[in-house]
Structure 1
Amino acid sequence: MSTTEPTVAVVGSVNLDLVARVREFPRAGETVLGSEYEEAPGGKGLNQAVGAVRRGTTALVSSVGDDPVGDRVVAWAAGHGIDVAGVHRAPGLTGRALITVAPDGENIIVVAPLANGALTPEHVAAELDRTRPDVVLAQHEISEAALRAAVEWCRASGARFVFNASPVRSVPADVLAASDPVVVNAAEGLALLRAAEAARPVGEPGSRSAVREGGAWRPADVARRLLELSPSAVVTAGGAGAFVADAAGVEHVTTSTRVVALDTTGAGDEFAGVLVAELAGGASLHDAAGAANDAAGALVQVPRERR
């Protein structure tokens, strides 16, 4: 691990985002016209690395295609100060994300992983050996094998592993057990809890009661229940802030300023990137989540083309 400036490695995806703004989201079988269109570098891994590098040295471990888009996104990341030596070039196309944004800033995203699927466990381990980060952040837009390589490197090296379990899919119990914290929104956290409950053998002790309010799970209760799976958890709740859970209990983190969202794309990634950079710098989980919440709140108030 580093002996000077705290460092972060983000093991994750890189995409080109294709963004269209619409007056309202289309219903099934419906076509709507977009009012604006733009293309920009993105992907959860790259977005999170951008959030982290503003606060400390950050390396990106990922895979892009050998197409011109790959050249473009790598140059863009390097221009933001990210260590891109660990970005693998694979034959084929760089990943794409198809994004529609409504007037209230909400979005719908479809990701085509493409070259992100070429990120191998061997490449992940070699790059983490090279950079020796204090904190490693990974998400779910890469393969389980690449994800597990990051977990195993952290176990062997004593680094802190942080997992943004998004997009939601099956997560091995040992990966969640190594995540300190697991970072999700309330819907993603609930999906993890339901999957864990379904996998629990019949008759095994464990909490199976749902704590509900108005027919929906409260984010604080999701955070508390996630401690059954991980040493700590952070559940983001949009404008309501975030809920931080660890052995000391559950705390609610909010921002003191009013947030008027123009585009929520990338808010969760900004949160995760700032969170790990603050943790690498020695902040407590509560304080790191507070800084991350403020950063995400500031991001959504800026039009994407000005970020």
Structure 2
Amino acid sequence: MTHDVVVVGEPLLEFAAAEPLTDAVTFTLGFSGDALNAAVAAAAAGARTALLTRLGTDELSDRLVAFLAARGVDTSLVRRVGGQTGGYVLGADPAGVRGFAYLRAGSAATTLEPSDLDPDVLSSAKALLFSGITAGLSPSCADTVRAAARLVRGSGGHVVYDPNYRPRLTTAERAAALFAELAPDLTVALPSAPADTAALFGCTDAVEAAARVHRLGVPYAVVTRGADGLRVSDRGAGLDLPVVPAPVLVDATGAGDCFAGTLTARLALGDTLLDASRLASAAASLALGGRGGTGLIPTLTQTRTHLTTTPTP
């Protein structure tokens, strides 16, 4: 199978509560993680999508694989190995400011290595998506995304990088150094402002952040600014896009991953950067109405309808 999008990263078991963690006693099993969320969003946006990862061989991992397949994500690149599949616990938080309680140390996905890559599969993919979370899981994970980026970029595909800076996984200095190292093999970078841009570039201004991305050699930059919208920049020619208002606000978990997956899918399918960014913004807006990372992943039809019928500020 030739893929439009290959996502590399760690899917997680999600134990979600309808109340804040300070009060919650009942949790619902779900499946999430930035890579899984983005892969499901890319598939929903119309792309033939595969998730490349390692999972354990237990029953919950079986359910996770079935979850992916039911949502149109190809699981042929999922390796089943010994060890656990990682997880996290979260409570309801519409503002998206709480921390997660992670249960991922030593998970199967942290053992990803370059030998897990099939050069033929990667070279034929139209786009690759991965994040700073994946690269920060372990040295072998970092080596894997470096190798994958070279394969896809070398064959002319898009390589999309969401820095997704997490101080629990890395330092600002290491995250900035990794971005600079990856930059020559990237076509699109998706830093958030101020969280990513402050760590990577020491700035919070979206225009300056996009300029820093270009100076490192990345042709496209899309700087997400939450309620303040996007800065879309093509080799320095930039445009600000307003936020697409969310019809319902339940939980911010996974909205950024939905954005990244949708944008990557639409670029792989031939949309312009501007059109892909608009659709991704609308998809992320709808995703805010679901609980957990994949509580609401809109279809392409739903996203397009939301974009064309919702007044923007």
- Give TM class, smaller chain: 0.7 to 0.9
The more displaced of 120-129 and 153-162 is: 120-129
Deviation at 1:258, TM superposition (A): 5.0
2:219 is aligned with 1:219 = no
Map 1:101-112; keep pairs closer than 5 Å: 101-104=92-95, 106-111=97-102, 112=104
The separation in 2 between residues aligned to 1:95 and 1:127, in whole angstroms, is 29
The separation in 2 between residues aligned to 1:121 and 1:252, in whole angstroms, is 38
Mapped contact 2:210–2:236 kept (Cα < 8 A): no
The separation in 2 between residues aligned to 1:109 and 1:184, in whole angstroms, is 21
The more displaced of 103-112 and 9-18 is: 103-112
Partner residue of 1:231 out of 206, 219, 222: 219
Task: Write the deviation string for residues 189-238 of structure 1: whole angstroms up to 9, x where unpaired.
Answer: 221114xxxxxxxxxxxxxxx5xxxxxx2333322332222222111122
The verdict on how the C-alpha distance between 1:121 and 1:258 changes in structure 2, with shifts beyond 3 A counting, is closer
The answer for the alignment partner of 1:178 in structure 2 is 185
Task: Write the deviation string for residues 93-144 of structure 1: whole angstroms up to 9, x where unpaired.
Answer: 0011232332545442244251111211111234734x82101111133321
The separation in 1 between residues aligned to 2:97 and 2:289, in whole angstroms, is 12
Aligned residues: 275
The separation in 2 between residues aligned to 1:271 and 1:172, in whole angstroms, is 20
Map 1:64-103; keep pairs closer than 5 Å: 64-103=55-94
The answer for the alignment partner of 2:14 in structure 1 is 17
Partner residue of 2:47 out of 42, 47, 56: 56
TM-score of the aligned structures, taking structure 2 as reference length: 0.80
The verdict on how the C-alpha distance between 1:191 and 1:80 changes in structure 2, with shifts beyond 3 A counting, is same
Three-state SS of the structure 2 residue aligned to 1:271 is helix
Partner residue of 2:277 out of 289, 296, 303: 289
Mapped contact 1:135–1:161 kept (Cα < 8 A): yes
Mapped contact 1:21–1:35 kept (Cα < 8 A): no
Higher-Rg structure is: 1
Deviation at 1:60, TM superposition (A): 1.0
Instruction: Give the counterpart letter for 1:99 in structure 2.
Output: L
Map 1:136-215; keep pairs closer than 5 Å: 136-142=128-134, 143-168=141-166, 169=170, 170=175, 171=178, 173-186=180-193, 187-194=195-202
The more displaced of 296-305 and 90-99 is: 296-305
Runs of 5+ unmatched residues, structure 1: 26-31, 195-209, 211-216
The separation in 2 between residues aligned to 1:106 and 1:127, in whole angstroms, is 41
The separation in 2 between residues aligned to 1:165 and 1:95, in whole angstroms, is 20
**Higher helix proportion (structure 1 or 2):** 2
Task: Write the deviation string for residues 27-49 of structure 1: whole angstroms up to 9, x where unpaired.
Answer: xxxxx222752221111111110
Three-state SS of the structure 2 residue aligned to 1:63 is strand
**Higher strand proportion (structure 1 or 2):** 1
The separation in 2 between residues aligned to 1:133 and 1:159, in whole angstroms, is 7
How much is the aligned-residue C-alpha RMSD, in angstroms?
2.4
Three-state SS of the structure 2 residue aligned to 1:101 is coil
Three-state SS of the structure 2 residue aligned to 1:261 is coil
Deviation at 1:84, TM superposition (A): 0.2
The verdict on how the C-alpha distance between 1:106 and 1:39 changes in structure 2, with shifts beyond 3 A counting, is farther
Mapped contact 2:15–2:88 kept (Cα < 8 A): yes
Mapped contact 2:226–2:243 kept (Cα < 8 A): no
Deviation at 1:91, TM superposition (A): 0.6
The verdict on how the C-alpha distance between 1:258 and 1:122 changes in structure 2, with shifts beyond 3 A counting, is closer
TM-score of the aligned structures, taking structure 1 as reference length: 0.81
Percent identity (aligned): 29
Three-state SS of the structure 1 residue aligned to 2:84 is coil
Runs of 5+ unmatched residues, structure 2: 135-140, 297-313
2:115 is aligned with 1:119 = no
